[in-house]
Amino acid sequence: MTNSSSLSQAKALAWLSAGLTTAGALFSILSGEWLCAGLFAGAGIAAILTVVRLGHCHSTIKAIRAVLAAAASGDLEPRLVLIGEGGEIGALTDDLNRALDLVDAFVREATATLACVRDGEFHRRIVRRGLGGTFARGAQTMNEAVAVIHDRLNSFSQMIGAFERTVGAISGVLSREVDVLDGAAKAMKSAVADTRHRSGAITHQAGQTSASVATVSSASEELTASASEIAAQTRRALDVSRSAQSQSALAGEAMTTLAASIDEIGAMVDLIASISGQTRTLALNANIEAVRAGEHGRGFGVVATEVKMLAAQTAEATEKIRTQIADIQAKSDRGLNSIEEMGRTTSEVVEIATAISASTEQQTLATQEIARTMQSVTDATVAVSSDAAAVTDVANDSGRTADNVAKMSASLAEEVGRLNGSVADFLLMAREVATGRTTQAA
């Protein structure tokens, strides 16, 4: 009894009352007490009717349990119909049917609305007509959630579009940069190969230049020595030329003095010739006077004749002296002219020797400068060879770097392709999420 329900206990008590009243009615009949028997019979009938009604209530409760069990299992279709109960039980079944109707309507509206949301259609809302209390609040909340989802999906779609444009732009830039990087790597490899070739050629040329510079340096040293010797010889020739110039000047002066002396001798010869002529004239006059004197003038005539002869010899000697003096003057003039010409020539020689000396000094300076330049060229050639070797090392490093850049470019291109694929898949899934049409739902 303790584990049975109140309805079962009431039914059991009703059956007990019916049994007791039946027993009392039989006892009264046997006792001849018909009034008590009638009362017991009425009470028994009432107990039996109570049992019948309790059984009907039990059936109604079982039907309510079945409907509630179906609702609990998710089946909202069953209803309590043809119960034939009034009062509280009838009101209970009516309230239960109305509650199930509300729950079913709410679930159907919510299902239809969420199905539209699932399909990416956000025009459907839960109809709130006939819903109240929690259902109305739930419908309002779900309608607001649908609106928020719609707005967020719109924002998400816009974000996806912006993301797609941004990623597309970045991907395009990356692709172009990868192409540029690949081109740069190829150009770098080509430049490195050309640099290697050129640096090798430079090293070869530097070796040849070094040998040539060594030859030129040796030649320049010999040229410097020769120029120094030429300068010394030129200075000596200049000194000799200057001495010859001085001597020619002195010879010119001596010739001038000699010409003057010859001129004086000529004057004296002229004077002697004049005296000789006068002496001859006097001897002739003396002869004439001696002839006139006769015998007395014979000695005087002899003297006059001797004087005349001496005068003739003097005149002849004077003439020879004049001829020789004239010849000496001619030769002296020619000697003076030669000395003057020699002086001019010596002056020209001095000028030429001076110019040669200056040129030789310049040549000496030039050859010394050439020697210094050749040394600088030698140093520069050594530096060029060293730099060419360094350039070759750098070119080799650059070649390895170019290879690494090419590998990185290829790897980056592959990663960009993978990124584009991942972004495309992400955008596809994002659009499916945004539109509510997923591949699984489709």
- How far CA 432 is from CA of 117, 119, 153, 423, 425, in Å, comes to 12, 10, 11, 14, 11
Q: Does residue 126 belong to any structural domain of this protein?
A: no
Q: What secondary structure does DSSP assign to 385-416, as a single string? A: HHHHHHHHHHHHHHHHHHHHHHHHHHHHHHHH
Asked whether residue 165 falls in the same domain as residue 111, the answer is no
Asked whether residue 411 falls in the same domain as residue 270, the answer is yes
Task: Name the DSSP class of 3.
Answer: T
**Is the Cβ–Cβ distance between 67 and 78 less than 8 Å?**
yes
Asked whether residue 278 falls in the same domain as residue 207, the answer is yes
Q: Does residue 139 belong to any structural domain of this protein?
A: no
Q: Does residue 442 belong to any structural domain of this protein?
A: no
Output the pLDDT for position 440: 42
Rounded to whole angstroms, how far apart are CA atoms 13 and 50? 10
Rounded to whole angstroms, how far apart are CA atoms 304 and 290? 8
**Is the Cβ–Cβ distance between 273 and 266 less than 8 Å?**
no
> Which residue range(s) make up the domain with 46?
6-118
Q: Which helix (H) or strand (E) holds 33?
A: none
- What's the whole-number mean pLDDT along residues 334-346? 70
Contacts of 371 (CB under 8 A, 6+ apart): 217, 220, 221, 224
Q: Is the pLDDT of residue 323 over 80?
A: yes
- What's the whole-number mean pLDDT along residues 130-145? 71
Asked whether residue 391 falls in the same domain as residue 321, the answer is yes
Output the pLDDT for position 1: 44
Rounded to whole angstroms, how far apart are CA atoms 297 and 287? 8
For the segment 149-196, what is each residue's pLDDT rounded down to a tens digit? Answer: 777 777 877 877 787 788 778 777 777 777 776 777 677 667 667 776
Q: Which helix (H) or strand (E) holds 86?
A: none
Rounded to whole angstroms, how far apart are CA atoms 409 and 364? 63
For the segment 226-239, what is each residue's pLDDT rounded down to a tens digit? Answer: 667 776 777 776 67
Q: Does residue 123 belong to any structural domain of this protein?
A: no
Torsion region of 4: left, alpha or beta (phi above 0 gives left; psi -120 to 50 gives alpha)? beta
Q: Does residue 274 belong to any structural domain of this protein?
A: yes
Band (pLDDT 50/70/90 cuts) for residue 2 is: very low
Which of 118, 149, 172 lies at the terminal end of a domain, its last residue?
118
Rounded to whole angstroms, how far apart are CA atoms 353 and 359? 9
Q: Which two tokens stand for residue 403?
A: 């290879």
Output the pLDDT for position 154: 78
Q: What secondary structure does DSSP assign to 148-170, as a single string? A: HHHHHHHHHHHHHHHHHHHHHHH
Of 314, 258, 252, 305, nearest in space to 282 by CA: 305
Rounded to whole angstroms, how far apart are CA atoms 88 and 69? 21
Q: Which two tokens stand for residue 72?
A: 């609990």
Output the pLDDT for position 358: 74
**For residue 4, which phi and psi values (nearest 5 degrees)?**
-85, 160
For the segment 44-77, what is each residue's pLDDT rounded down to a tens digit? Answer: 666 666 666 656 666 667 766 677 677 677 666 6
Asked whether residue 67 falls in the same domain as residue 213, the answer is no
Rounded to whole angstroms, how far apart are CA atoms 177 and 244? 88
Output the pLDDT for position 400: 74
For the segment 243-276, what is each residue's pLDDT rounded down to a tens digit? Answer: 766 776 776 676 677 667 777 777 777 777 777 7
CB-based contacts of 428-431 (< 8 A; 24+ apart in sequence): 430/156, 430/160, 431/157, 431/160
Asked whether residue 386 falls in the same domain as residue 317, the answer is yes
Asked whether residue 52 falls in the same domain as residue 193, the answer is no
Question: How crowded is residue 25: how many other Cβ atoms within 10 Å of its Cβ?
Answer: 22
Using CA atoms of 23, 29, 34, 35 in order, give the dihedral in degrees to the nearest 10. Answer: -10
- How far CA 329 is from CA of 254, 321, 322, 352, 359, in Å, comes to 14, 12, 10, 33, 43
Query: Could you give the angle at the alpha carbon of 343 between the alpha carbons of 339 and 348, nearest 5°?
Result: 145
Q: Does residue 138 belong to any structural domain of this protein?
A: no
Asked whether residue 101 falls in the same domain as residue 182, the answer is no
Question: How crowded is residue 439: how many other Cβ atoms within 10 Å of its Cβ?
Answer: 8
What value does the mean pLDDT of the chain take? 69
Which of 65, 94, 118 lies at the terminal end of a domain, its last residue?
118
**Is the Cβ–Cβ distance between 385 and 204 less than 8 Å?**
no
Rounded to whole angstroms, how far apart are CA atoms 41 and 39? 5
Q: Does residue 306 belong to any structural domain of this protein?
A: yes
CATH number, position 228: 1.10.287.950
378 burial (CB, 10 Å; 0-12 / 13-18 / 19+) is middle
Q: Does residue 63 belong to any structural domain of this protein?
A: yes
Q: Three-class SS of residue 123?
A: coil
Rounded to whole angstroms, how far apart are CA atoms 271 and 277? 10
Asked whether residue 206 falls in the same domain as residue 351, the answer is yes
- What's the whole-number mean pLDDT along residues 340-344? 70
Output the pLDDT for position 4: 47
Query: How many domains does the structure of the chain reveal?
Result: 2
Q: Is the pLDDT of residue 222 over 80?
A: no
**Is the Cβ–Cβ distance between 107 and 139 less than 8 Å?**
no
Output the pLDDT for position 79: 65
Rounded to whole angstroms, how far apart are CA atoms 210 and 375? 10
Rounded to whole angstroms, how far apart are CA atoms 26 and 373? 160
Asked whether residue 308 falls in the same domain as residue 421, the answer is yes
Asked whether residue 298 falls in the same domain as residue 379, the answer is yes
Which of 118, 133, 153 lies at the terminal end of a domain, its last residue?
118
For the segment 394-419, what is each residue's pLDDT rounded down to a tens digit? Answer: 667 766 776 777 777 677 677 777 77
Asked whether residue 39 falls in the same domain as residue 105, the answer is yes
